[in-house]
Structure 1
């Protein structure tokens, strides 16, 4: 035999990407989008202080980044009121999810998530041979009680919950999430994805308790801090679990430019408040546009609004395709009944004006 000898697991997997990026679509279409409203990025950009810090750090890009992420971990720990040894910094939540699954999931191990929840987590589970068990959403919300019941039934190594949720934008209050933590079965870890927590109402996140071995919480600089292209995320968990990441993580996975940008972004609370205000206004504008076209916006605690198109998945898919044809990039949930909706990221006034301009014609074509 010549050539690389893939493992049986790798041979069994399809070559796939959980999300087809807008750049890939633009190359296929032969032209750019006028409104980039599908990836839940911050169209308001990073803090100017973060940009300046990254520009300065670029001159030292010949150096490897600090393998310990010491300065960023220290600042996060001080502000969050937790010990530095309970924080792990990595290449966005996606990278940290991959490390966590590698640590805990062997071929055949059970993992529980919601049908229609974040597909990149599922991608990592498949990549390490885990067996996914899924429960349906309940009323456009993830169902904590059903997730816990399924974890107990299957003996799951990990149970995944996002709060606030992607792709629906819904959320549970801190009490219900804490009740889920308290109900985690022995031997199971709750993976609590809080990527959108900066946009959620007060009282959405339970108090941090890094001594609790039943839960690990992951947050990101990709959303509120506007650093999606820099790939910076962090996990908060019990010290023994965080220490275990050092067994398998890419120690030089973080670049100096990203580290500098994240450190400056974290310190600029005024910019964070500015972005939070713009997102709140943008959600209201997307909801107004939806209602003006006879559609129903779902309540959102994120930087996107999920819009019920009033039909089934086939109708929503046509709406998405017609918006794409009109140079508006949006996405949609992948499974019924969530797929009756399209998901629109909050954008600036110019991008939302394009959405308002093109949605009526897209709806007419999709229905017609």
Structure 2
């Protein structure tokens, strides 16, 4: 039987996904996890107002979503003090990053990122035929100076920075990021992935400035807002750059119920503040659990804590496997020396109680 002909780029790519989801792991194990602490979802859930709006919208699911996402874009524009034409909605940050790569990257175009940061971005670059230039972390943080240097020397099309960073949880404040932006070479597009910005110290966040056409800000309702399953993200940028997204985005890619839920979630900032406070408390609890077991938690501005297991990547992998064997889903960075760590998402007291019970057993098994 004849096979279809794929393009040469697709034929050259390895058969992989950025990570194996907890559902796939549960199918492989034949049983569910007791504590789901590996996907950086908000176990505290979304706003009750968002849930009510989504339930009420379910009967109208025979309709497509507004392809312009007008009401949500207008609300986000008002929230951030920008114009309607400075906002584009997408299928989570992942979908928008894929579009940004499509906008800027041609076959062989250099793209600069940190070696070990959010792997799905690399997935998009590979799929678009770009050439990844990976810059090592410095002291468990993205090395902004080295990233700019690599961007300049490689004449990169895109510089990707995740802040707060996944998987390490580290955070660069406005002063450092303004310095980075001031040093950007002409022509490069800075993709600033701010998925976890809602859980960082708000006074230290880089203010939104849509006047610089070289900077795109990517944000999401998947993390602190608790709507990961709705797949609603957005990008803020200069109007002409945002307009370019309209040429290539999937205009019916946003689900209607999710769009309505995101709007209600945005309007409930009181609930968001409560969720962020619970996340901050959970970070403290995870840190205490780590220290009680002789491990070192890293400082985090995200909705997870990365824990230094005190050994190498093989040891951390044994700890991870032992936790999974005890029905606790966590993850670990994939690149040395970051892979000496495991990463634990913030959860409810009952979730973290399971972690507290199982981590000593996992460490004993790993040793």
The bucket for the TM-score relative to the shorter chain is over 0.9
Distance in 2 between residues matched to 1:281 and 1:206, nearest whole Å: 24
Distance in 2 between residues matched to 1:103 and 1:5, nearest whole Å: 25
Match of 1:260 in 2: 260
Q: Deviations over 1:309-347 (max 9, x none)?
A: 000000000000000000000000011110000000000
Match of 1:59 in 2: 59
Residue 174 of structure 1, CA deviation: 0.6
Match of 1:219 in 2: 219
Cα pair 1:110 1:157 within 8 Å, conserved: yes
Q: Deviations over 1:77-112 (max 9, x none)?
A: 001100110111100000000111011111110000
Match of 2:83 in 1: 83
Q: Deviations over 1:241-273 (max 9, x none)?
A: 100011110000001101110000000111101
Q: Deviations over 1:141-197 (max 9, x none)?
A: 101111010000001000000111110001111100111011110110111011101
The aligned runs of 1:159-174 (5 Å cut-off) are 159-174=159-174
TM-score (normalised: structure 1): 0.99
Distance in 1 between residues matched to 2:196 and 2:340, nearest whole Å: 23
Match of 2:341 in 1: 341
Residue 287 of structure 1, CA deviation: 0.4
Distance in 1 between residues matched to 2:89 and 2:211, nearest whole Å: 18
Q: Give 3-state SS (helix, strand or coil) of 1:203's partner.
A: helix
Structure 1's unaligned 5+ residue stretches are none
Residue 204 of structure 1, CA deviation: 2.9
Distance in 1 between residues matched to 2:202 and 2:251, nearest whole Å: 35
Q: Give 3-state SS (helix, strand or coil) of 1:59's partner.
A: helix
State whether structure 2 residue 124 is matched by structure 1 residue 113.
Answer: no
Distance in 2 between residues matched to 1:337 and 1:120, nearest whole Å: 20
Cα pair 1:10 1:127 within 8 Å, conserved: yes
Match of 1:131 in 2: 131
The aligned runs of 1:174-323 (5 Å cut-off) are 174-323=174-323
For this pair of structures, how many residues does the alignment match?
A: 367
TM-score (normalised: structure 2): 0.99
Distance in 2 between residues matched to 1:101 and 1:262, nearest whole Å: 25
Match of 1:35 in 2: 35
Distance in 1 between residues matched to 2:224 and 2:283, nearest whole Å: 14
* Runs of 4+ displaced beyond 4 Å: none
Q: Give 3-state SS (helix, strand or coil) of 2:228's partner.
A: coil
Cα pair 1:92 1:220 within 8 Å, conserved: yes
Distance in 2 between residues matched to 1:92 and 1:321, nearest whole Å: 29
Distance in 1 between residues matched to 2:68 and 2:13, nearest whole Å: 33
Q: Give 3-state SS (helix, strand or coil) of 2:219's partner.
A: strand
Cα pair 1:54 1:260 within 8 Å, conserved: yes
Residue 299 of structure 1, CA deviation: 0.6
- Cα RMSD of the aligned pairs, angstroms, is 0.8
Residue 352 of structure 1, CA deviation: 0.3
Structure 2's unaligned 5+ residue stretches are none
